[in-house]
Structure 1
């Protein structure tokens, strides 16, 4: 199994087998922490071969730099994945989209969205959370001498 695409984005959809991705990103800025990101999607495109046939467990987890899950109670998210290719097919692609709402990040730093198959990491998509610096106010113009 090959993961051809693994990207975090604002919105994703599968339209007649086409993976539609809008607003791909790898960095989020916040004025303070903790911060809640209201909504985003993980878009995946899998390429399956006859060797992948059978029942599998697909897992998704968002982890911090220490490997700690973002939500210890709900992650990893694990689902069943049954792979069966049509007779004579050398490969098959499938789009998978996971929508997230209300992701809470306790601190700035580097995170990863890990995608696993039967416990083995197949893809790790980086995500950086950055503390935004306040905008600097422009300096006041220097007083000008009156013309003589």
Structure 2
């Protein structure tokens, strides 16, 4: 299996098997902690081949720079069956967060694994911004 797309974005949806993304990003900031991002999505597009047929355990972890879990890992069972005569299938997977909260600034990661094997790591930089507001 190959993860073709793994990104954080403002919004994502699956439209007739097309992965539609709006506003991908890798950095958020705030003037104070805790840092709360009101809404975002982790969007994935995964390609499965014939060798991937069967049951798989997918896990998504949100971790800090020390690999400590920031939230409870999310797990799902994924059963892959390819239609006869098909070499591959793709599946879009979207995980929405409302809100996303960080107690401190730093670098965080969304780690995506199948059967315990990490397939993708999506970084997120969380900044505490200093200085005056523009126009103040």
Which TM-score applies when normalising by structure 1? 0.87
Aligned-pair CA distance for 1:22: 0.1
Corresponding residue for residue 111 of structure 1: 108
Q: 1: CA distance between counterparts of 2:105 and 2:26?
A: 13
Aligned to 2:124: 127
CA distance in 1, matches of 2:95, 2:20: 13
Aligned length: 135
The reply to whether residue 61 of structure 1 matches residue 61 of structure 2 is yes
Q: Mind listing any 5+ residue stretches in structure 2 that lack a counterpart?
A: none
**1:70–1:104 CA contact under 8 A, matched in 2:** no
* Structure 1 gap segments, 5+ residues each: 139-148
Report the Cα distance in structure 2 between the residues aligned to 1:116 and 1:136, rounded to whole angstroms: 40
Kept in 1, the 8 Å contact 2:42–2:95? The answer is yes
Larger radius of gyration: 1
Residue 133 of structure 1 aligns to a residue in which SS? coil
Q: Hey, what's the Cα distance between the residues in 2 that align with 1:12 and 1:63?
A: 22
| CA distance 1:45–1:137, shift in 2 (3 Å) | closer
Change (3 A) 1:90 1:105: same
How far, CA to CA, are the matches of 2:20 and 2:99 in structure 1? 22
Taking structure 2 as the reference length, the TM-score comes to 0.94
Equivalent position of 1:30 in the other structure:
30
Matches within 5 A, 1:132-147: 132-135=129-132
